[in-house]
Amino acid sequence: MRKVLFCLFGFTIVAHGIAIGQQAGSTTAKRAGGSHPDLSGVWTYAIDRAPASLKTEVNGSVSVKAIDQSARHGDATSIRGVLQSTPKPSYKPAYQAKVKELSDHESKLDPVFYCGKPGVPRIGPPRKIVQLPTETIFFYEDISGDPYRIIPTDGRKHRDRANPSHYGDSVGKWEGDVFVVDARNFVEDTWIGEDGYLHSPEMRVIERLWKDGSNLVWQATVEDPVVLTAPWMMPPRLIKPSSEPLEESPKCVETDGAKLLNDDHHGQR
Amino acid sequence: MLRQKMLRAMVATVLLTASASAWAHHSPSAIFDMGKRISVTGTLVKVDWINPHIVIAMDAKGDDGKIDHWMFESNPPSWYRSVGLARADFAKAIGQTITVEGVRAKDGTFYGYMQKIKLPDGTSHELVNSAELK
């Protein structure tokens, strides 16, 4: 049954990849080396941030500045080429209680809340992409540090002896105009989502990136046949170009944990 | 001089932020008394531009005449950067008198979440709920 599910999934991916390749970015994206769309650039912050604006008053003059949350909370499901997604992964019965336990105590157990590395795919789309002839580099800004990923695109395979890591061992290839990144060999101590979404060391993450006009589209699939009933197709993100340059993230010093008086989930009031 | 009073008996919108994936670091009510908004006036001592929250330290005289050492956390550096504020915008007031409004930790310590700061030149910066502006 598992084989059938994954074969079906694989076929779906290939079919959609072809469809996207035929559709996406053909008219708007400049091309690196003439053969593929150029994804290089600085992209809007896609991490989740407070839905707050800043109200400033100077000499009686009031101004309000909001942050752009579209890369995280915009609805990108209607963008051409996206694959049908679900908001949550589907866990096998043997893991559901553990996921619930982690979620119920999220504020005390989520490594990310305590300056831990989010890993892939939780970190989301990159803030900056540098696309070169034989490799593409993703840069991120994150409170845990500012990770980068060097993704070979010269046809090489995954490294046999790579050590497990938070961001995995990645290789990239083009399927039409879609850049496909295959990452594996992850450490086990990251979550793939904030609601206790655990994974096994067998996890594999497929990220797809393509241009939609001047914007970037990112969508990831999590395959983990150990804990999931089926691959989790994550909701897509539509990311605008950004003029805000990357900046070194200040050190992370978490002090709130010791002050928590209850286990309230962050969504609770 | 400490000027601490309840400004509003309402559930304040505390905007806790932190991680790569979740803007809410934890439930605000797990730490802060959301029903009381306080105002503290004192001397700005330090500005730590750190994740997951910036932290400012200030000394303010309490009702008993003693100096209370307050700490207020607020939104993360990346959020402040996106709205155009840098550490220097606060740090220029070190050694001077400022007023901070926010909510206080339930444990009674001199710790709070800063929602508004008024600088010596009269400029004020306030975190407001984006949804309420629409």
Are B49 and A244 within 8 A, CB to CB?
Answer: no
Residue range B61-106, pLDDT digits in tens: 999 999 999 999 999 999 999 999 999 999 999 999 999 999 999 9
Task: Specify the pLDDT at position A260.
Answer: 83
User: Is B99 domain-assigned?
Assistant: yes
pLDDT digits (tens, 9 = 90+) for A195-205: 999 999 999 99
Best B26, B104, B123 member to test A by mutation, with max A CBs in 10 Å, is B26
Strands (E), B26-77: 38-48, 55-61, 67-73
**Which pLDDT value is given to residue A262?**
75
Are residues B31 and A247, on separate chains, in Cβ contact within 8 Å? Answer: no
Q: For chain B, say whether A68 makes contact (Cβ under 8 Å).
A: yes
Q: Which residues of chain A make contact with B133, given a CB cutoff of 8 A? A: 53, 64, 66
pLDDT at A152 over 50: yes
A52 vs B130: CB contact, 8 Å cut-off? yes
Answer whether A110 sits within 8 Å of B22, measured CB to CB.
yes
Closest residue in chain A to residue B123, using alpha carbons only: A58
| B18 in a structural domain | no
Asked whether residue B119 is domain-assigned, the answer is yes
Structural domain contains residue B42: yes
Whether residue B130 and residue A53 make contact (CB cut-off 8 A), yes or no, is: yes
At residue A22 the predicted structure's pLDDT band, cuts being 50, 70 and 90, is: very low
Query: Is the confidence at residue A35, as pLDDT, over 80?
Result: yes
Q: What is the mean pLDDT of residues B108-115?
A: 95
Report CB contact under 8 Å: B20, A254.
no
Lowest mean pLDDT among A255-269, B38-52, B98-112: A255-269
**What is the structure's pLDDT at B29?**
78
Interface test with A, best of B13, B16, B21 (most A CBs within 10 A): B21
With 70 as the cut, is the pLDDT of residue B6 above it? no
Per CB-CB distance under 8 Å, the chain B contacts of A259 are 31, 105, 107, 111
Residues above pLDDT 70, as percent of chain B: 77
* CATH code: domain of residue B47: 2.40.50.140
What total number of domains does chain B contain?
1
Domain locations in chain A as residue ranges: 2-47+63-245
Scanning A158-187 for CB atoms below 8 A from B yields: none
Q: Check pLDDT > 90 for residue A226.
A: yes
Question: In this complex, is the C-beta atom of B108 within 8 Å of any C-beta atom belonging to chain A?
Answer: no
Please say if the pLDDT value at position A76 is more than 70.
yes
Least confident interval from A26-35, A140-149, A215-224: A26-35
Indicate whether A139 pLDDT > 50.
Answer: yes
Residue B115 structural domain: 28-123
Percent of chain A scoring above 70 in pLDDT? 84
Q: Is B79 close to A52, i.e. CB distance below 8 A? A: yes
pLDDT of residue A83 exceeding 50, the answer is yes
Assess if residue B1 is contained within a domain: no
Please report the residues numbered 60 through 79 in chain B whose beta carbons come closer than 8 angstroms to any beta carbon of chain A: 73, 75-79
**Is residue B3 in some structural domain?**
no
Is B23 within the bounds of a domain? no
pLDDT confidence of A45, banded at 50, 70, 90?
Answer: confident
* Residues of A with Cβ-Cβ distance to B101 under 8 angstroms: none
Is B22 part of a structural domain of the chain?
no
